[in-house]
Each structure stands twice: as structure tokens, then as C-alpha cells.
A and B are shown apart, each in its own frame.
Chain A
Amino acid sequence: MTSSVLVALTIGLPWLGALCISFGVRDRSERAQHALAILFAVTSGLAALALLPTAANATILRIPVGGVFGDFTFNPDGLGVFLASVATVVGSLAVIFSVDYMRGEKQLGRYYALVLLFIGAMAGLALTGSILLLFIFWEITALCSYALISFYNDDPKAVAGGIKALIMTQIGGVGLLVGALIVYAYLGGYDISLLIEKANTLPPGVLNVLAFGFLIAAAAKSAQFPFQTWLPDAMEAPTPVSALIHAATMVNAGVYLLARFYPAFAPVPGWTMAVMIVGMLSALLTAIMALVATDLKRVLAYSTVSQLGYMVYAVGAGSILASQFHLLSHAVFKALLFLGAGAVIHAIGTRDLRKMGGLGRQMPLIRTTFIIGALALVGIPILNGFWSKEMVLEAGLSGGPAWIWIVMLIGAGLTALYTFRVVWMVFFGAPRGDDNHGATHAHDATHAMRFALVVLAVGALTTWLLIGPFSGLIASSFGAVAAGQPHELSLTEMIAEVVTAPATGIALIVIALAIGAAWWRRDKLTALGNRLGWLSRMATDSFGFEWINRTIVRGTQAIAGGLRVTQTGALNWNILGIVGGLIVVLAILAMGVAR
């Protein structure tokens, strides 16, 4: 009973906050808006954390809505509660960070309302037990993502990026909806557990369609190959939004989807291989793109896609635990990196890496926390990224072919290289800023920013200590259903496993080599894009996959433009359309009945 209340609070509180902010205070008092947003986000985070101990693989909240849609169920098992906690806690920190970052912005009410709506929807996505409801929450997150990317809606780039993100993630949404309807048609219900239990009773063709359809849905949502180009364009959003939606939570929904349905789809021939290849290509290609990008946030966006590739790869290799553990680590350190980048951008007013440099002295706190995040991203021992990345690589070696593993290893080396480059270009070397956005104006983070950064930095240093309870959580949500289901892993076991594995040594050597190479040629890093001209051109064009995305976006817009003819705004004609449609539907039905 208490946990059902907690579920309702986790989802409902942010939504209530969104209502209060958009209808209650509006833009009358900025202070009230900040305070309300923090209040609702933090209480929702606390509710989600309170759910953690009671996570159980059972339906605890069931809202009957009649026979057509099935019951709306909420099923907070370990996997779901974990993702909901990440969403609400990182969400709270992003909201706290926003107090400083968004101070004095216009239309703050719209901003906070959308962020809170997103937090609630993300928690709902993680906690629900119904595929239909999963789809609805999935779409709400996509809508919030779109609206927040285009938050500065007088900037055409922001609007274009938002539209692109919306259309690309809709592909995923449509796939999910079709999947839900297929499940309903064949199994008579929308429950996720129903699909997982009875997946083997489905005809093989149908299961194939479902499995690959969901893979496409996940790839579109998580910006994986070949849809990886919407995420960098989404970087026009305010930075806390990038940290929350496009690094820590929404893009993880795809990985979550794959992990959630892994037991159902793993037996489909070729599916795990396809998942691994999608992960590998995303990880490798975007790592190269990150190497030559000159926009601070775009580098981080590429890096996000790359790290999501590692998670997808781990799911394909059969280790949901490694994938979700890397998801946790990544959510923490990437949110930290984004917020750090946000603090830098806020201070100097540009995102161009070539105009930064030598900022470390003016902003020591930002520098320190950013470097902690960067080290975690690279996978330096003791930080959380090290443990989870090693687990991913180990799982890949044992569960997948060696050549993919080697490619992923190269990806790890590239990660080290581009991370070093970013840190060097921002915080070290000679100041390169011109007068307008010069480093001379730079100042260190203010209070709210400091708080969020320090909490996340401490998280990046320590979350790996939680592996014991964490693995318990994940294991509990996959009963005996999955063949290679995650097992509980205590801290000492994990340390022993990671340290003794030969893969760790090799990975560390690759990373060390990459950093060494970067240090050796550190002065040439800035011009790396120019030196590797052909690669750079290919990379900025996403190796030609940009045109797939562009074609989809343009095609959709063209269809939409064509359909505008039908929206005359003349009521009588619209009613004519409705009556005509009714006749057509009835005629089709009549043909069916008469036969």
C-alpha cells in the first residue's frame, strides 16, 4: 500500500509541480518558480529513493480503465525503480543547477513546467508495467524533449534541432505502438510480464518483427546507429536540459527498453548480434566524431551516443547488469560533465572550444569536478566509469565475438583521446578567447551550481560502491525467466572479477597509450580537425548517415505540408470529412460482415 502511494507520488509530484508553476505562479515571481520547482523535484526524488527498498517484481498499482486499454499497471521492479531514481535525482540536481543557469531568463514558467513534466513522465516510463502506458510516457518524454530543445524558439537552429529530435524519436514511438498492438492482438493484454512469459508462444515471424521493431525504436530514442545525428543537434537546449534529458535519462530509455525485453527477444536468431553491432557502430563512429568536433556540447553529445553504444553492446552480449551499471555511472558522470560545461558556457558565453583555454585558473571548482567526470568517462581506476566500463568489456568478451570486443577497445582508446582533448582545450593551455567572450570575464560557479556539481562529483567517485545492492535490484527484476539472468554480485566479488580479468589490463593499456599520445602531441590537439581534414569532413557529415536522418525529417515535413490542404478551418467541410470517414469505415465493416 505504501509503495503504491510512493509510485503515485514519484510520478504525480512533478506533474503537480508543473501545473502549479504554469497555472499558479506563471511568470509573476521568479523566486517562487525556482523554489516550487526545487520543492517538487526533490520530493519526487525522495519518493523514488524510498521506493528502492520495496522494489518487487509485482504489480502494486492497478488503475482499471475498462476493457479496451487493459488496466494501467505500475510494476516497480528493480530495473524500473532504479531508472526512476536516476531520473528524479538527476532531475532534482538539474533543477537546482537551473536556479543559477536560468536566472533572469524569460518564460521561466514554461521551462520549469516542461522539465517537471519530463521528470514525471520519465519516472512513469520506468515504473509502468503496461506496454501501452510505456508508449504514452515515451511520447510525453519525446514531447518535452522537443519543446525544451526549441526552448529558445526565436533561434532557427534550436527550432530545427527540436523538430529533428521530435521526428526521429517518433519513429521509435511508432515502432513501440505497433509492438504494443501486436502484443495485444496475439496475447490479449498489454502487460510487459505477459510478453516476457509468453514470448515463445508467438509465431516466430511475429516475434522477429517485434524484436527488430523494438530495436529500431530503442536505436531512435537512444540516438544509436543509424539515427545518431539528432542528439548533437539537440544541443541547442539549455544546458541543464541537455544534462538531464540528453545525457542522463531520456536517451537511456532505449537501453532500458532493450534490457527490459531482453528475456523475450534473446532467443530470436540474430537479434543479439544485431544489438551488438548497433552498439559497436554507434560507439566507434561517434567517438571519431567527438575527436574532431569544435563545439563543447557537441563533443559531449557524441560522447553520450558513444557511451550509450557501450550499454547497448552490453545488452547484446547478454549482461544486463553491466549495461545498467554503466547506465548508472554514465548518468552520473555525464550529467556532471554537462553541468560543468554549462557552468563554463554560462561564464564565458560561447560554446566554441577554440575560443576557450586556460580557464582552469579562474574556475578551480569547475575544473576539478569536470576533470573528475572526465576521468570517469575515460575509465580511470577507482572512479565509477572504470568499474562499469570494464564490466561491459568483460561481458562483451565472454558473450560476443572477439572482433567486436577489439573494436570496442579501440573505442575506449578514442574516448580517452577526445576526453583529454576537451579538458586540455577548455582548462589548460593559453587563453584563446577574443575580447567579447574572453576568458577574462570568467568566474567560478555560484552556489546552486556548486551544489549540483559537487554532489555529482562525489557520485562519480562513489557510486560503484553500491554494486552489491544494485546487482540485487537488477537480479530481482529478472526472475528465473531469463537464461543468463543477472546474478547478485557483492563489492568484493566485483573488484576481484574486474581486477583479475585480463581484459582490464589490456583496456587500461589502451587507455594509457591514448592519453600518452595525447599528452605528447597536446599542442597539436586544437588543430586536430584541420590535420585530419578528410576524416573531419566525413565525421561532421556523420559518415553519410546524416542523409538518412535528413531524408526522414524532410519527408515527414513534406507529407505534413501536403496534408495541410485538408485542414481548411471550415467547420462544415471538416464535418463532411468525418461523415465521409464514417461511411467508409462502415462500408468496409459491412463488406466484412456480409462475406
Chain B
Amino acid sequence: MTFIVGVLALAAVVCAAMALRAGKALVSALWLAGTSALVAFMLYLMGAHEIAVVELSVGAGLVTILFVFAISVAGDEALDVRTVIPRPLAIGLVIAAGLLLGWFTVAQPMAGLIQPIAAPVAAPLADVLWNQRGLDVLVQIVLIFGGVLGVIGLLADSAEKPDVKGPEAGVRDQTAEEVQL
């Protein structure tokens, strides 16, 4: 059990890193789907069966489709040539934050909490979701509606106004950018 979870966590992190390393956006989206699937498996092992299913179908399925769709509409663009922030600085900061967090949660006496309690209160998800956290469900519905409205607004806007600048303008911008650099 320990071994499987450890391997899964490691694999998820590697997938995530690959998603960021990938040169093409499409590859990146596929690695993200892999991360999502591994996370879903971890959740399943942790006893969150319903959430695992939702994560697998929404996170690995729907979101990936959306990514592929968006990339096919917008086109790909390999960019990460030169970063705004120097890479060593970014790596240093992230490692510092990670070590601090790790020290807090794993190495501290607080880590004593990181033991599963013998008999968890068996409140089924549906019960909690509908009875205790009804407000959350309401907010989720509002969120979904807001998101849909936002997307409709964004995409409808483009139908009315055709491209102000062609793709060439973009290329020009980019070259100007490179010159500036």
C-alpha cells in the first residue's frame, strides 16, 4: 500500500513536470491528463471513490478535450525560449517554499496528525454534500452558470468583431519583442 501510493505520487509529480517541460501545448495537455488520471487513482486509494470518478471524467476527460479543442482553434506556439524570471531564482524560491512547507507538515510534531484515525466518521459524501454543505452546492451551480456565461460572452464577442490584426501583426509584435530583448 505504502509502496503503491509512493509510486503513484512520484509518477504524478513526474507527469506534471513533463507537462511543463513539453515543447508543444498539445503534448503538455496530454501529460496533464496523465497527471489527472494518476491523481484520480490516488484519490481512489485514499477512499474517495466518488471524487476519484469525477476527477477521472472531468479532470482527465473533459478538461483535456477542452485543451485539445482550444489548441486546435488557437494554434500552437512554442515560446519558452527565454523566461522573464531567471530559472535559478525560480527554482530556488520554489525549493525554499517547498522545504519550509515540508518541514512544517512532515517533520514537525504536527506530523503526528498525519496518521489515519482508526475509525473515521462514516458520513457518506452525498449526505455531507446535500445536507451540511448545501451552500457550497449552490455556489458551485452559480460558478458553473457564471463560467458558461463568461465563455459564451467571450466567444460571441469574436463573432461580431473580426480580427483587428492579422496573425502577421502578431509575428511583427514578437519580432519587435525579440529585438527588444
Contacts and interface: CB of A to CB of B under 8 A. Distances in A.
Interface stretch (B41-49, B95-103, B167-175): B95-103
B135 interface: yes
Contact of A582 (B85, B90, B97, B135): B97
A565 interface: no
Given A572-B83, A572-B84, A583-B97, A63 B104 contact: no
Given A579-B93, A586-B97, A593 B83 contact: no
B97 A593 contact: no
Given A63-B135, A586-B104, A590-B100, A579 B94 contact: yes
Interface string A578-595: 011011001101100100
Contacts of A65: 135
A573 B89 CA distance: 12
B93 A580 contact: yes
A570 B84 contact: yes
B2 interface: no
A580 B100 CA distance: 12
Contacts of A570: 84
Contacts, number: 33
Nearest to B89: A576
Nearest to B100: A586
B85 A589 contact: no
B104 A572 contact: no
Contact of B84 (A64, A573, A580, A582): A573
B108 interface: yes
B125 to A, nearest CB: 18
Contact of A593 (B84, B89, B90, B104): B104
A587 B104 CA distance: 10
A206 to B, nearest CB: 30
A593 B104 CA distance: 9
Contact of A583 (B83, B89, B93): B93
Interface string A32-68: 0000000000000000000000000000000111000
B97 A579 contact: yes
A155 B108 CA distance: 59
Q: DSSP majority for the A interface?
A: helix
Interface in A62-85: 63-65
A267 to B, nearest CB: 39
B46 to A, nearest CB: 22
A586 B98 CA distance: 10
A589 B105 CA distance: 12
Nearest to A589: B104
Contacts of B90: 576
Contacts of A64: 135
A580 B84 CA distance: 16
Q: Which of A570, A572, A579, A583 has the most CB of B within 10 A?
A: A583
A582 B104 CA distance: 13
A19 to B, nearest CB: 11
Nearest to B85: A572
A576 B96 CA distance: 13
Max chain B C-beta neighbours (<10 A), residue from A63, A576, A589: A576
B94 to A, nearest CB: 7
Nearest to B101: A586
Interface string A551-586: 000000000000000000010110010011011001
Contacts of A579: 93-94, 97
Best-surrounded residue of B84, B96, B97, B104 (most CB of chain A within 10 A): B97
Contacts of A587: 100
B85 A593 contact: no
A483 B144 CA distance: 52
Contacts of A576: 85, 89-90, 93
Contacts of A589: 104
A576 B94 CA distance: 9
Interface string A426-441: 0000000000000000
Nearest to B149: A23
Interface in A296-344: none
Interface string B56-92: 0000000000000000000000000001110001100
A595 B104 CA distance: 14
A573 B93 CA distance: 12
B91 to A, nearest CB: 11
A583 B84 contact: no
Contacts of B84: 570, 572-573
Given A572-B83, A583-B96, A593-B104, 20 more contacts: A63-B135, A64-B135, A65-B135, A570-B84, A572-B85, A573-B85, A576-B89, A576-B90, A579-B93, A579-B97, A580-B93, A582-B97, A583-B93, A583-B100, A586-B97, A586-B100, A586-B104, A587-B100, A589-B104, A590-B104
Closest 9 CB pairs of A and B: A586-B100, A572-B84, A579-B93, A583-B97, A572-B85, A582-B97, A583-B96, A579-B97, A576-B85
17 contacts: A64-B135, A65-B135, A573-B84, A573-B85, A576-B90, A579-B93, A579-B97, A580-B93, A583-B93, A583-B97, A583-B100, A586-B97, A586-B101, A586-B104, A590-B100, A590-B103, A593-B108
